[in-house]
Amino acid sequence: MASGIQLPIYMDYQATTPLDPRVLDTMLPYFTTRFGNPHSSSHKFGWETADAIDRARGQVAALIGAGPKEVVFTSGATESNNLAIKGLARFYRKHRGHMVTVATEHKCVLESFAAMEREGMSVTYLPVRSDGLVDLDVLRAAITGETLLVSVMAVNNEIGVIQPLAEIGAICRERRVFFHTDAAQAVGKMPLDVEAMNIDLMSISGHKVYGPKGIGALYVRARSRLKFDPILSGGGQEGGLRSGTLSPALCAGLGAACAIAAGEMDGERERLRLQFDRFVDGVLAGVPGAVLNGDREQRIPGNISFSFPGVDGALLLAQLRALAVSSGAACASAVAGPSYVLRALGVEERLAQATIRFGIGRFTTDAEIDYAVDTVIQKVTQLRKAA
């Protein structure tokens, strides 16, 4: 304990968020008394869980400006991305054999594209500028008459920058290609509107939005009449796109998490922006040469990636035990070497190694921010002196 602060301080909100207690309250009955199979249509046990799923579908849809019938429940954003990319590509590849994505996408997107390359499709991986954003002229130039899909993530998980979704959506609409966005890090953190942004497919993750792990969704625009080769086949649930018995508890949890986000997002963003400034300005003032990765304005405030010249990244991470932070994406932390996202931004290898992602969110306090700033300044200064 330090001045009433519980250590370590959780600062890894991009890896996962804690379940909001209100979400848990919504979920609990579906583990006990309301246990019916939502696909059992002949009795009350099935009806009540089917109702819960309908409600949840509406809550997810409302947060992104969609209709309930356009929401397909999955196990998470990984599955949603796989379904969007592989499912669509396998259905349409005979007619259109090219797709476009970005070098800084999450591994589950990049690996889905790599799988389709192995199946004979061609993929263009767009570079990003040093601020982490896609250059729209480069995107325009990459689209050909053969292009089926453009997939650009909404918010980057390592550096927090927001890609220009509305502009990308407009380009895709004009060029008549489908637009998918991996919005795992964006949903509930910033306003998203699938109509205004011309999004055809959007991947959503429950555990990044204070909901449970093991649930996600794929938004599929109804009017685009998209067709897929499903990844999971079976009983034909979720309109045949994703067979398997749905979990009412997990669906209800994702729905509740989305409803809370819809009501509280604006206030939460303002509070997090203040905490972002407090943290970033504090670190910049106390650690000469520290570099904030990604555009400072076009970002969500909860994701703060800092590179610290003159220190060894592994030593720094070891020194920062009081802060539950990450040296990059949690999912890639088993992979040695500097992050491919930072490399794509042009961050040189030594600096990329000395990069820490500080994630702040719903339960972060100002006192925790101040403690974290002091800790970072102290540890970086010590390591620099020892070097």
> 36, 38, 58, 76: which one contacts ligand PLP (CB under 6 A)?
76
Phi, psi of 33 (to 5 degrees): -70, -35
Q: Is 12 in the site for ligand PLP (CB under 6 A)?
A: no
**E strand segments, 136-232:** 147-151, 178-182, 201-205, 216-220
327 binds ligand PLP (CB under 6 A): no
Catalytic-labelled residue, pool 108, 251, 258, 331:
331
For the CB of residue 157, give the shortest distance to ligand PLP in the complex, in Å: 3
Residue nearest to ligand PLP (CB): 76
Q: Which amino acid type is present at position 96?
A: R
Two tokens at 249?
């508890």
Question: Which residues fall within 8 angstroms of residue 86, CB to CB, at 6 or more apart?
Answer: 112, 115, 116, 229, 231
Per CB under 6 A, the list member of 151, 205, 303, 326 interacting with ligand PLP is: 205
Q: Quick check: 361 binds ligand PLP (CB under 6 A)?
A: no
For position 283 contacting ligand PLP by CB under 6 A, the verdict is no
Are 372 and 321 within 8 A, CB to CB?
no
Q: Hey, what are 224's tokens?
A: 């685009």
- Structure tokens given for 241: 């796109």
Q: Which letter does DSSP use for residue 247 in this model? A: -
Are 184 and 106 in contact, with CB atoms under 8 Å apart?
yes
Q: How far is the CB of 203 from ligand PLP (least distance, A)?
A: 7
Does 247 sit near ligand PLP (CB under 6 A)? Answer: no
Contacts with ligand PLP in 126-185 (CB under 6 A)?
Answer: 153, 157, 182, 184-185
CB of 295 to ligand PLP, least distance (A): 17
How is residue 304 written in tokens?
């703060």
Rounded CA-CA distance 346/155 in Å is 19
* Residue span binding ligand PLP (CB under 6 A) among the ranges 2-10, 72-80, 116-124, 297-305: 72-80
Interface characters, 77-96, with ligand PLP (x: CB under 6 A): xx------------------
Closest distance of CB 265 from ligand PLP, Å? 18
If the CB atoms of residues 341 and 383 are measured against ligand PLP, the closer one turns out to be 341
* Catalytic residue list contains 331: yes
The structure tokens 């992602």 sit at 357
Q: What percent helix, strand, coil does the chain show, rounded to 5?
A: 45, 15, 40
**CB nearer ligand PLP, residue 108 or residue 250:** 108
Cross-strand partners of 114 = none
For residues 119 and 229, give the distance between their C-alpha atoms in angstroms, rounded to a whole number: 14
- Whole-number minimum distance, CB 153 to ligand PLP, in Å? 5
Question: Which tokens hold the place of 87?
Answer: 């499912």
Q: How many residues bind ligand PLP (CB under 6 A)?
A: 13
User: Which of 90, 96, 106, 357 lies at the binding interface for ligand PLP (CB under 6 A)?
Assistant: 106
Radius of gyration for the chain, computed over Cα atoms and rounded to the nearest angstrom: 21
242 sits near ligand PLP (criterion: CB under 6 A): no
Q: Examine residue 357 and tell whether it contacts ligand PLP (CB under 6 A).
A: no
Task: Give residues with Cβ within 8 angstroms of 190, minimum separation 6.
Answer: 154, 155, 162, 265, 269, 300
Question: Three-state SS for 45?
Answer: helix
Q: Which is nearer to ligand PLP, 216 or 302 (CB)?
A: 216
Least distance to ligand PLP, CB of residue 92, Å: 23
Q: Which residues are known catalytic residues?
A: 331
- Chain residues that interact with ligand PLP, rule: CB under 6 A: 76-78, 106, 108, 153, 157, 182, 184-185, 205, 216, 331
